[in-house]
Structures are given as structure tokens and as C-alpha cells.
Amino acid sequence: MRKLNIAIIGLGNIGSYLYKYLNDNKKILTEKNNCSPVVKYVSARNKKRKRNIKIKKNQWLKNYLAATTIKEVDLIVELIGGAEGPAKKLVFTALKNKKHVVTANKALIAKYGDQLSKIAEKNKVNLEFEASVCGGVPIIRTLKESLIANKISKIYGIFNGTSNYILSTMDKQKKNFKDVLDNAKKLGYAESNPSSDLNGDDVSSKLKILSSLCFNSFLNNNIYVEGIKEIERTDIDNANRLGYKIKLLGFAEQINNKIYQRVHPTLIEKDSYVASIDGVLNAVIIDGKPVGHSTIQGEGAGPAATTSALVSDISSILRGNIKFPFSLSSRERKNLRFENISERFFSAYLRFEVIDKSGILSNITNIFSKNKVSIKRLVQTPDKSKKSSSIIIITHKAKDKFLKKTLMEVAKKKYIKGKPKLIRIDDN
């Protein structure tokens, strides 16, 4: 029976879970893949950390990079994290030394995926990263294999469980952002420093990878990114009254041979499928031909979901499948034209808190008209106790640059209280 010797580098929650899973399920994995996975070595920054696994003395590597030079190591699982430092050094060195690599590191793939892919191709080894995007949702392999016959025009969805949990909990439990975030940290749904989740960077990295696979292109950094930090309970309540839910969505779409990548909070209709995806779940929606409209949903993070994706990649290598990391060779991938969204047309929700004074509404609507932004719906709610008024405007479709210009011009007026809000509406 053939065997594949594995080194797991990084033994946090996911690394420890994977170690135990591979050992506990060695027999069935061997039967299914006709090759035996053997965890030969492990390494981590802190050897003394308490872990719910039993590591043999001869398995521990003091120097994590040693795994890249040990002849009997066939595959390295990188679970260090981060686009730079040890993770970068490990993966680059491993591929150069003709070791297969499996990783859950979205930041690394999003930044260096093109370079790493070329090295893997040159050395005829695998670079697999199913676990880097949406955890237990098998979207990478779906795009590389199951939908290989399709011309994909659009991919979008909920790619971050932390932000989705926060927004859906704010809605259901009528709590403010800070309280929900604090509870998410206690439950383990958010890191102690969740900035990457909240500012949209996490989704941005995932979207770049998905976009490259969908459109057979090299990774591209031309992407509009906006997070959820500015979303208030008021906006969620307003959205409900207007027939919408607020979700942090990522979009990559091809329109007239141009690619648009964007990440931002989005108002979506209450009765839509995506609106029903709550908690830490992820959902990916694909539009293509001939497949039409396809949806995959599941847990986007956590040790179990991530391990499921990692084992899928390991199993592919166990079977002896040597594939191009991004489905096509680097020679066949394209340098497509990626555009910013300033010329795209969107409907939008805008909210202004203003001093309760005559003539203000007229002034605001004049600014809208001057900037070629047509008003579809307007709701004004006075608050006599605060001597202020809330003005909510839903627009017809307008160029994004005109929507932003309108917002900035109104924001400068002395009658404005607080920071005005603009949230795009998905009405495609």
C-alpha cells in the first residue's frame, strides 16, 4: 500500500483537530484513496501549549522549515496563517523543494498565489487551498472541477461568518454593534482582534481567489472594499421597515469583458435566499452557462469545517492528482481588465440626521438633482425631543461616483448631525 508522509506546521485549534482527524480516520481514508496518510512530523511556535492530542517525541520538529528538506516528507500542511513571515517562507520553500502544499491561508494565496502557482507547476507538485475560502463550503473544487464546462459571469455571496453573525444578531436580538461583537468574541465567533473580518479585508482576499478561478485570470487587487463597522441598529431597523436585510456581500462579475470586484454592506430583499442565511453560515451563489443559477451553503469557519476542506485537498493528493492550482496553467491564465466601480450603476439607501429646520429637505433634494441622482422614495421622521429629523432616501440607479459625490456634498452642510450613511442595494 502506498503512503503519503505529511508534516503539519501550525498546531492551533485547526492544526490539532486535523492531526487527530487524520490519525483517527486513517483506515477509511486509506480505503477511499488507495493510499495511506501518515502524519510524520508536526511543528508549532509553542511546544508546551496544552493540546488535546498526543504527539510522539520523534514527530516534533524544532525548526518548522526542516519539513521542507526532509526527504521522506511528501506533503506539508501550512496552518501558521498570515501573508508574510514564517507562512510565506514555509510555502515558497516547500514548493521549491518539490513538496506538495495544502493550506488554509487565504491572505497568502490572495497576495502570492500567482507566484506560488508558477513554482508548483514548474516542480509538478500540488498547491491546494480549498480551506482558504468559506471553510466547509467546497467552492474551490466546485469551480475547478464540477463547473469546468461553464462560462461564469458572476459569483457573489456571504463569505465571512463573523460579520454575518453580527449583522443577523443585531437584527434578531435588537442589539447594538458593540454588544453583539463582544458576545461574538465570548462565543469564539470573532477573534480578539477582528479587524480583518469587520473592515472587509477577509472577504476581499477570498473574493480575489474566487474571481481568479471564475474568470481564468491572474489575481487582481483592483477591488472596492467597505466593511460593517459603520452599520448601526438604526440602519438595520430602517432596512426592515423598507423590506430589506443588510448583509456584507462580496461580488465578482464580468460585464462587457470587464471585471468588477467589490465588497460592501448591501441591502437585499427580505424574501431572497441570501437574506435567510444567518449566524456564522456562508453562502456562495454562481451565475453561469449552461449551469444557470447555483448556490452552495455551509459553515464558513471553525476547526471541523476547515478540517473537512483540508482533508478534501489531502485526499486529492493521496489519489495522485497533479493539478494546476488555479485550474489552468499560468501560460493559459489571462490578464483581464479589472475596473473600479465608480462607473457602475446602483440603487442606494442614504440616511441623514439633520437639524429640524425648514428648507433643509429642499436643499438636500436639490443636491441630489444636481448630481444626477433620482429619488425613488423618501421618508422623513422628526424627533421632537432631539429637535432633529431623520431623512431616508432610496434612489433609482445612478453611477456610483455620483452617489458618493452626493453623500459628500450633503455631509458638509452645517445642518447635518453625525455621519451620513450610504448602503448600496442589490436589485439585479
Cite the active site residues.
206
User: How many beta carbons lie within 10 A of that of residue 12, not counting itself?
Assistant: 16
CA 343 to chain centroid, in Å, comes to 24
Buried b (16+ CB within 10 A) or exposed e, 200-217: bbbbbbbbbbbbbbbbeb
Instruction: Name the grid cell of 37.
Output: 496518510
| Residues sharing a CB contact under 8 Å with residue 287, sequence separation 6 or more, in sequence order | 152, 153, 154, 155, 293, 294
Residue owning grid cell 449552461: 290
Please check whether residue 190 is in contact with residue 163, taking contact to mean a CB–CB distance below 8 angstroms.
no
Nearest CA to 111 out of 6, 23, 204, 35 is that of: 204
Q: Where are the beta strands (DSSP E) in 139-291?
A: 151-158, 224-225, 244-255, 258-269, 281-289
Give 85's Cβ-side CA count (13 Å radius).
9
CB-CB contact of 161 with 228 (8 Å)? no
Contact 72, 59 (CB under 8 A): no
